[in-house]
Amino acid sequence: MTETTHNNATATIVSDERSDLLEALAKQRHFLRFTTRDLTDEQAGQRTTVSELCLGGLIKHVTSVERHWVEFIQHGPSAMPDFTALTEADWAARADEFRMLPGETLAGVLAAYEEVARETDELVTTLPDLNVTHPLPKAPWNEPGARMSARRVLMHIVAETAQHSGHADIIREALDGAKSMG
């Protein structure tokens, strides 16, 4: 990242790499949010496949994942749970992020997602070094001692969002025939 001064004001110029990350995040977030266009809260919470997934729940999940990974970039593995120590009750509680719960609204879910997106985008532009690494949290899917850089975490967020955007497109098409593309 470089800085330049114009008329006694300092403006941050985002490097090409950071611009690419922000553009990729914005594109995938758009497609995920787009799947919820013109839906009611009830429709956003409706399951349309054999999966437990619904559109509102997918957005809640992606919001949670992005929030936790950004906290990981900032604070290391202490920002995430020790997944090897989670109980059945913990896993059941985590399952609630995949569904719309009573009292939750699509507008509220989207607003929370937008706030996390703003925080992530700010981090991308202000983080001094994308090479900073932390040990990964304890989890059955992480190799002991493995580390991940901020850059790789951000790429993971893009991939996670893209994957769930595809899930959302299938759910939406099963709901009312609407497609994100085509």
- Closest to 164 measured CA to CA, from 84, 97, 119: 97
Q: How many CA atoms lie within 13 A of 65 on its CB side?
A: 21
Confidence of residue 182 (pLDDT cuts 50, 70, 90): low
CB 15 within 8 A of CB 145: no
Helix (H, G, I), strand (E, B) or coil at 65: helix
Residue 173 CB neighbours (<10 A): 15
To 5 degrees, how large is the angle CA 116–CA 121–CA 127? 115
b/e for 116-143, b at 16 or more Cβ within 10 A?
A: bbeebbeebbebeebeebbebbeeeebe
User: In this model, does residue 13 exceed pLDDT 90?
Assistant: no
What phi, psi does 134 have (nearest 5°)?
-140, 155
| Of 100, 97, 35, 108, residue with least CA distance to 68 | 97
pLDDT in tens, 113-169: 999 999 999 999 999 999 999 999 888 888 989 999 999 999 999 999 999 999 999
Mean pLDDT of 30-50: 96
